[in-house]
Structure 1
């Protein structure tokens, strides 16, 4: 049964009855034949059928519901709002797509080709939506039994098998552990590990180890992991990594139309966007499903469009706080039990968000949230509010938290990051220290979205604390590196590339005599164990790139890489494209071995110009998506920022004399 047919069935007989009918079909055509085929289940086949039927109904009902900030008090399902997203992977050389799969009723084209999939992308691209969609579809099409594991809920001290057994414990029945183990051994499941980036700091290492052990033991099942980019995930070398394709304009418009069933509001918004002279700026929002939905939400509120991310989130907060509930008439505004005004409530939210950021936590049980809110209220002695009223407002009047049983979760991680950035920039008396702490953290990539918000909130501080140290350190390194006599006859363009990429990466080239040897070694990973044990803060070697040649690049990203990414996203003019030819080494023979990319003049690969050029080209070919700093542009901007600092100090000095 395809998605459209299910949608029609729900409209005809209602969601609950439709789910029962779909699950009943799955039991008859998929589950029952499995249970009858295997001797292990002959004594309790009927009981297992009942357990699995109830489990699948619960799973389907939960996955079907779309928790979106656009709709308050209006039940929406994946059938109402889903537009097909696409997964793609690249060749690792020129970012050409190798595989692209549209995740629609033909989703099996992707699932059948890969047993282990890792979906890595930025906030709001639809990772969790894909998990919901795929779990529903495998039931619709009777392919697998889905298990969704929200990793933020898992404790590192508990075995994943026990966590899964708990999911099959129903109100008046449960599947025995041994029966579940037999099904796992046979490969009856597709298991989703959703949201690795939301795992708390203290659980992270243990949970990743538990996942790997579990997957090794139950290797016959299908596995899908979702996350934002995290360094830890580089150890999952046997997973095929995918990203989600950005929405094109028509896909974004199709999503907008779904929000009011192709009504007047969506038509008006699409017309405004189409005729907007600043359409290029809006594309930043329209490529992202979540931001597209928020664009509709803010337009619905006051028919205005924000053109910057910061103003955009500010408008969303204002729209939520002053929202008119459509289910109770356009004049009904949700009362705030806390009696806080929009500014007071925002200040409180910033404190809650900052604690969430510090703990890397987006979900709390009730008591934990009570403790945090109480602590934050006490830090604002000028307000009068009760904790229970604030929590009620957070889930109803200003729904930035969703309640799931006894747990409370930020409606989206990016909202926590927005308000946390507000605390850092507007509330804290340690703003500059917090900037530095994030930039120097071993997990700076975790703070990339927060730093993006902070950059817009405090551009003067960002230029002084993010840009200036970054380019100043690069200039110093650039001028110190490759000064040995051996490099004096080498091409300046080659040296320039080396200096730039070594600023952001630790690199080694593994060269083999044949492509076949390289591919075999890549698949076994045995020869990389020693390399991966070599740690140097956050810049340890942890990633392997193989692109069907005699070479592999093994590298680790330094913090400077993520700062480069942020500054490139902010369109800071300090970058350039590599100005070298990528051909010319086809007939060169060099010895098999490991070649460290550095300016050590004693290294064998640095003593011979042809070898030096070969290594440099191999790095550039493999390292796609890397930004290269331009030395001259960096010097120019450094001088400009120094002048800004001087002029600011002069103004403040004049003020002191008043």
Structure 2
């Protein structure tokens, strides 16, 4: 789309906004807003993906429309229309697991605003706040409106934002650093309250406390259905490669792959399977196997999923194993520093650190960055910064590094991880559930030995619960919930999931009842009294439901701890027997 086309699309909203700022500024602001919208449209309509790393593809070429589910419902809500999705609602959260397609939905909805002539879209990638010295509102005012010259003063910007003609896409709440997450959460709430008539769409992985934002309705990204998987595959493969697409769909539908098909209902994992298909035609049994195969494929064959793919020459002189070691070290350091975008100086500083600590790794920084970006395609360049094609690749390499540590260092890392999980309700960390899942797959025995058993062994009976007040009981529940959610690959977390859903449902039901009881018809009126009533409702639910649940669940935890301990003993015993067989 060009400026003229976008001018026609946004004529209505623009006239309303510019009518608020005075004739002398109309033409200047109009031109800048239109130019900004042209750039935003291009930036979101054209994308590189893990399958299309060299040349940007239009959304129309590869996007398979995704669906949402609200709360406990089963009805799938389409995301084809921003106007329909936000009809009768101003604030929604899109919650989805790693690779579920949240950011791509945002790109689609943003470009859809142009097609539907709906609002003026503004996109904020929240991860950029991690390096920004200021608050969310400062970022929107200074880095978007003033830097882009969409508004010249705060007064003019306030008038524009008060016009209800904007839709804000706030992408990646889970990527906000724990250092600023609490403050940013309050900033989001304050900004929305200040300009309540605009539309807001906020995305995140689950378990980041985003679900508790009082004004927002929660929607969850639905998995791909069988027919959508087939459609997705065909959209990723060039039209001249129909035979390859058919073979991939046939492999997905094989009866022996049925138990692993849930992996392939995730758009990212399905993309990985397509990428690696010509080298690995079977569906991996573990998520970590997907990532291992992806790196192997990217290293060996780059540029395309077609038969015409070719190997690019590497410049820095490292072997495949050394490349992987560098990625593991860099990912470990950056992941625990909660860095998801890498300015050039950060990247080179970490590469220098790696070389200083690992004498076997000798390389030129410029050459290895070029290899990672061009020859392998495991780093993307966005403006002047670098990122992984998907954040989950960083999580995989970080988990892989830990899994290969010696026992002494591994024990210390796992001690820190357990401590950070139990502090999770005090510090709003970026979501790490996917990282823990990968770690559990890669290093199951040591996760049990150094994380789960030390945690479970603290629970010997339920008698202590009677001595706790409701806040202490809630804290116990939160700790147990955090550990069981983090390591659901190993622990049986079904009961935890069920009770969490029940608690959330009862909480929201009681909130709605309280609104009706107080005869408060608007969110704004209720918001003034929200904290008081929230605390009262939490206390009632804790005493009526949470305590009784813990009394029934902790005995199961004690049994599970004994079973895991026995599992490790059995594994050790069987290994000893096998070793004794050799002379």
TM-score normalised by structure 2 residue count:
0.82
- Offset at residue 379 of structure 1 (A): 2.0
Give yes or no for the alignment of 1:250 onto 2:227: yes
Task: Report the equivalent of 1:205.
Answer: 182
Give yes or no for the alignment of 1:361 onto 2:361: no
Q: 2:441 aligns with which of 456, 470, 475?
A: 456
Task: Report the equivalent of 2:556.
Answer: 630
Map 1:200-349 to 2 at 5 A: 200-261=177-238, 263-281=242-260, 283-326=261-304, 330=308, 332-349=310-327
> Partners of 2:38 and 2:270 in 1: how far apart?
31
Cα pair 2:395 2:435 within 8 Å, conserved: yes
- Offset at residue 570 of structure 1 (A): 4.4
Aligned length: 536
The alignment partner of 1:237 has SS state of: coil
Task: Report the equivalent of 1:175.
Answer: 151
Give yes or no for the alignment of 1:127 onto 2:127: no
Cα pair 2:172 2:203 within 8 Å, conserved: yes
- Offset at residue 648 of structure 1 (A): 7.4
- Offset at residue 227 of structure 1 (A): 1.1
Gaps of 5+ in 2: 503-532
- Offset at residue 292 of structure 1 (A): 0.9
Q: Which shows bigger deviation, 639-648 or 343-352?
A: 639-648
Task: Report the equivalent of 1:25.
Answer: 8
Map 1:433-582 to 2 at 5 A: 433-441=412-420, 442-443=423-424, 446-474=431-459, 476-478=460-462, 480=463, 558-570=478-490
Q: Which shows bigger deviation, 404-413 or 345-354?
A: 404-413
Give yes or no for the alignment of 1:147 onto 2:126: no
Map 1:345-424 to 2 at 5 A: 345-424=323-402
Larger radius of gyration: 1
Gaps of 5+ in 1: 1-17, 485-505, 509-533, 542-555, 583-591, 600-604, 606-614
**Alpha carbons of structure 1 residues 214 and 249: separation in structure 2 relative to 1, 3 Å:** same
**Alpha carbons of structure 1 residues 643 and 266: separation in structure 2 relative to 1, 3 Å:** same
> Partners of 1:629 and 1:251 in 2: how far apart?
43
Cα pair 2:127 2:175 within 8 Å, conserved: yes
The alignment partner of 2:347 has SS state of: helix
- Offset at residue 466 of structure 1 (A): 3.7
Give yes or no for the alignment of 1:55 onto 2:39: no
RMSD: 3.7
- Offset at residue 298 of structure 1 (A): 0.8
> Partners of 2:49 and 2:469 in 1: how far apart?
42
**Alpha carbons of structure 1 residues 619 and 129: separation in structure 2 relative to 1, 3 Å:** farther
> Partners of 2:469 and 2:70 in 1: how far apart?
23
Question: Greater relative contact order (Cα 8 A, min sep 6): structure 1 or 2?
Answer: 2
Task: Report the equivalent of 1:546.
Answer: none
**Alpha carbons of structure 1 residues 269 and 343: separation in structure 2 relative to 1, 3 Å:** same
Task: Report the equivalent of 1:647.
Answer: 573
- Offset at residue 50 of structure 1 (A): 0.9
**Alpha carbons of structure 1 residues 138 and 328: separation in structure 2 relative to 1, 3 Å:** closer
> Partners of 2:561 and 2:477 in 1: how far apart?
24
**Alpha carbons of structure 1 residues 393 and 477: separation in structure 2 relative to 1, 3 Å:** farther
Q: Which shows bigger deviation, 139-148 or 173-182?
A: 173-182
Cα pair 1:83 1:254 within 8 Å, conserved: yes
The alignment partner of 1:419 has SS state of: helix
- Offset at residue 142 of structure 1 (A): 1.4
Spell out, residue by residue over 1:445-484, the C-alpha distance to the aligned partner (whole angstroms, 9 max, x if none).
833222222222222212323443444444x134x45799
**Alpha carbons of structure 1 residues 81 and 22: separation in structure 2 relative to 1, 3 Å:** farther
Cα pair 1:88 1:243 within 8 Å, conserved: yes
